[in-house]
Amino acid sequence: MTPRREIVASVRALDAGSSFGRSVSMVVRGGDFLFVSSLAAVDPHSGEHVRGTTASETRQILTNLEHLLEAAGSSLDKVVKVNVLLHTMLEAPNMNEVYARFFPEPPPARTVCGARLPDGAKVIIECTALA
Amino acid sequence: MTEKLSRSVVQPRNPRLNVSRNANLPHVPGIRIGDYIFLSGMGPIDPQTGERNHGPITEQIRTTLRNMQHMLESAGSSLERVVRVHVVLADISDMPEMERVYREFFPIDPPARTAWSMQLRFGNGCEIECVALAT
């Protein structure tokens, strides 16, 4: 059977606020997995970028990620791999402290990397999860 | 999920685009595993000469995405089957130009994507990798 590729419709409505008109789908299902685009800290009500500390941006992103996954029929405990990009690796402990509160044991595989991020974000997070 | 998934190497039909083999690097252009294809990061290689194309960033992005299309089609997949893309730029200020060219390749229902900027080798302006469904 050919595996299905699907732009997850239940989160399409949220796309407008979070993809900022870029040619990106926030959640794509391919076969058994969900691929989630990088999330920056966005206020779910206004759809505006929220600028804050690394900790507060991480909290906003993971809160939004939880909602996105649940809207797509998945959840944080089904995440298999996370990539976290930080504007500086010096902020890794601040991100970790918040991050650890979101994922149930055992947490997913993860890579953290320092990079220059778009739109002045301090953190962006993407993941792959079981559908 | 108990049966063993088959794993095979993805190779471009155009041998000039087999960058890792030509440069004797310890990776393959891509791996097919089960229903998925995982491509290595690709740079702007001219498919006629096999040399790096360091023109304007729009040309580098276009060349790289064309090569990615070639790689996927060589393996029986296509851009329409891509589920996730990573775009790495050498210069974060190239983001709007990247977006403009990227849109030509994924005009409807684009894949999930993450884009950021970090140091790249060989003076490349971009490196792009993806995960696609194989069939």
- pLDDT, one tens digit per residue, over B32-84 is 999 999 999 999 999 999 999 999 999 999 999 999 999 999 999 999 999 99
Interface test with chain A among B39, B61, B83, B129, by most A beta carbons within 10 Å: B83
The span from the CA of B26 to the CA of B118, in Å, is: 22
Contact B83 A5 (CB under 8 A): yes
Contact B135 A83 (CB under 8 A): no
Contact A7 B35 (CB under 8 A): no
Q: How does residue A51 score in pLDDT terms, banded at 50, 70 and 90?
A: very high
Nearest CB to B133; choose among A3, A22, A117? A3
The overall average pLDDT reported for chain B is 95
The overall average pLDDT reported for chain A is 90
Identify the pLDDT of residue A47: 81
Q: Where are the domains of chain A?
A: 5-130
Contact B99 A22 (CB under 8 A): yes
Does A13 have pLDDT greater than 60? Answer: no
Does A9 have pLDDT greater than 70? Answer: no
Arch. (CATH architecture) of B7-133: 2-Layer Sandwich (3.30)
Q: How does residue A11 score in pLDDT terms, banded at 50, 70 and 90?
A: low
Contact A36 B112 (CB under 8 A): yes
Does A77 have pLDDT greater than 70? Answer: yes
CB environment A62-87: b (16+ within 10 A), e (fewer): bebbbebbebbebebebbeebbbbbb
What percentage of chain A exceeds 90 in pLDDT? Answer: 77
Give A123→chain B minimum CA distance, Å: 11
Interface test with chain A among B82, B84, B118, by most A beta carbons within 10 Å: B84
Give B48→chain A minimum CA distance, Å: 29
Query: What residue has token string 């500390």?
Result: A53
Nearest CB to A117; choose among B102, B110, B116? B116
ipTM: 0.92
Identify the pLDDT of residue A16: 46
CB B71 within 8 A of CB B45: no
Q: How does residue B3 score in pLDDT terms, banded at 50, 70 and 90?
A: confident
More confident residue, A94 or A44: A94
Q: How does residue A22 score in pLDDT terms, banded at 50, 70 and 90?
A: confident
Backbone angles phi, psi at B7, to 5 degrees: -125, 125
Q: What is the dihedral of CA A6, A7, A9, A13, to 10 degrees?
A: 180
For A57-83, what is the mean pLDDT? 96
A contacts of B135 (beta carbons < 8 Å): 2-3
Alpha helices in A1-131 (DSSP H): 12-19, 54-71, 92-102
Q: How does residue A18 score in pLDDT terms, banded at 50, 70 and 90?
A: low
Does A12 have pLDDT greater than 60? Answer: no
Interface test with chain B among A19, A25, A38, by most B beta carbons within 10 Å: A25
Arch. (CATH architecture) of A5-130: 2-Layer Sandwich (3.30)
Looking at chain B, how many residues does it have? 135
pLDDT tens digits, B99-121: 999 999 999 999 999 999 999 99
Identify the pLDDT of residue B1: 56
